[in-house]
Structure 1
Amino acid sequence: MQNQDQVLLAALLRTAVDAIIVINDRGIMQSVNPATTKLFGYDEAEMVGENVKLLMPSPYRDEHDGYLRSYHETGRAKIIGIGREVTGKRKDETTFPMHLAVSEVPLGDKKLFAGIVRDISDLKNAQQQLSEINDQLEHRVRKRTSELHAAQAELLKAGKLATLGQVSGGIAHEIRNPLNAVRTSAYYLRNARNLTPAKTLEHLDRIDRQVSLIEKVITALSDFVRLPEPRLTKCNVNELIADVIADVSVPDSVSVQIQVATDLPIAMVDPNQISIVLHNLLRNAADAMPDGGTITLASNVTDTEVVVEVIDTGVGIEDEHIRRITEPLYSTKAQGMGLGLAVSAAILDKNHGHLEVESQLGVGTTFAVHLPRHFRA
């Protein structure tokens, strides 16, 4: 039975992934396993019989005998039974970070000490890269936070939002998921064992992607609150509608119809900004019809306004969503930041117009863009 135990122990030492070094009470190496020779670059014959200080750079090699002497004299163990991070030295004089765990092995009237060594170079490299990314992230967050504070000041000054609570709630919703992904990858990189370079790169790329998503949210919000003042001019709305239709591509399953008034008066607006509004409404209409349908653009006139209607035969919008549909960062879509309609409403407000919405579930939705007429003097 004893022979079987010895055979089993020898097999375990031979096949162990970690380096295992056995020393006596004077620090002389008694045995090493194959993982040790591979890690340090020595042959077994070059190690057994030598002081374990051979595998240590200064100052560890200078302190090692003192550790053993102190343990013999006081019985107080500083590293025995406690794993710690130290530095190892290979035969070629290169050094590397390693985790060392030492345990005492009583053998009759002798005391031996077994050290288990693991190379943690990959983990340290990952931690270094993570630290650099954290520094970059902190810098970018500080920069974007400063921009956000400036944007909030503009919002307050312009009175575009009833409360900042709506904005902060929307921002929290948009950045919570990417932040959680960053936190998960950071935790993995800090704590994973046997971390491979490929796995490290995968999580570093994931962190970078999520930070980019956060930046897009902040940039979109900044662009929204810094909307320039319109350059009001006489605008032929029917021509504007034709230009927008030519620019916007819709799925083959969606058809676009035009029903414009031939004697439509001129509107007094910024054509470029109103074009943005119509582009947003056309894209939203197409998104509302995943199975296909019809978009109708109609124009008409009242005593004081030119009205453009974008009508779809899509799924419709529930009443509870219609009340909030133009709020910044509020969206009924699975993807998207919910700024398209908010931007459209803000543009129309600056152009002295407004947006009206009517919808019926299962039938479709009509967005009516009301623009001020131009009256000749």
Structure 2
Amino acid sequence: MYNQDQVLLAALLRTAVDAIIVIDERGIMQSVNPATTKLFGYSEAEMVGENVKLLMPSPYREEHDGYLRSYHETGRAKIIGIGREVTGKRKDETTFPMHLAVSEVPLGDKKLFAGIVRDISDLKNAQQQLKEINDQLEQRVRERTSELHATQAELLKAGKLATLGQVSGGIAHEIRNPLNAVRTSAYYLRNAKKLTPEKTSEHLERIDRQVLLIEKVITALSDFVRLPEPSLSKCNVSDLIHDVISEVSLPENVHIENQVASDLPVAMVDPNQISIVFHNLLRNAGDAMPEGGTVTLASHVRDDQIIVEVIDTGVGIGDEHIRRITEPLFSTKAQGMGLGLAVSAAILDKNHGHLEVESQLGVGTTFAVHLPQHFRS
């Protein structure tokens, strides 16, 4: 049985992939397996009987005897039973990283130590390559982050330019038609061979109307960019609605039905600014009914709010647009700058009110203007 164990042990040592070195208490190599001779480049005869320091470069070789002496004197192990990474030295003086695990092997009254050595050059190379890849990746991330910041800056700049382009396009569209009318009338007045007083008056009035229209466009844009602070006062909402209806111009096939109660509470708002809101809403209602229809104005009071609804029977607004209709320069209409509802929302906000909207495609839209009541102090 003893011989069988020896044969089995010899077979394991001979076929082991890792290098196995057995040393005595003085560090003298007692046996090595074939993997050891292959790893270090020495023959078995060149190693057995020599101090294991033969396989170590400085400073490990100088420290090794001290480790053994300290363990022999104190019994405190520094590397025994603990695997660690060290450096080995081959016969050709080249060095390589290796993992060393040492265990104590009692043998009668002697102490032997078995060291299992594994070459980890491939692992260290892989770790170095991984580190280089990570370093490159981090550098690329830094570069891409820098590019992203630059791109964001460009997009912001482009967004501002796009906004400027939208504003410019909207202004150009709103002003071009009046300017063409002014130009036509001016050309007529300069070149007509027989000008009657009636024709002269007609074209001068047309020029005046178109110039006024241009002025309104510029004023609307200016009001939105720098909306003046409201001059709050007591306002009879019913009277204000009546005045707006009498002033607004809608297509002949669009009818207004005023159901606003005459006994509404007094609101505390800027009447001039709130008038602009209702003018905008009524014009939008007319535009939403190209085939004609009815705009209904209704009112009710809820808590401390006076609510006036402008209800049209027009084409309606899709869900994808309804959240954006008060954004500046956003419009669902083929014509217009998209400032009317933005200005209206801004006015109501400054007057401590707000605007709500509900719509259904093909059925119509309801804009609800909420105004604060005036309470006597």
Query: Which bin holds the TM-score, normalised by the shorter protein?
Result: 0.3 to 0.5
TM-score by length of 2: 0.45
TM-score by length of 1: 0.45
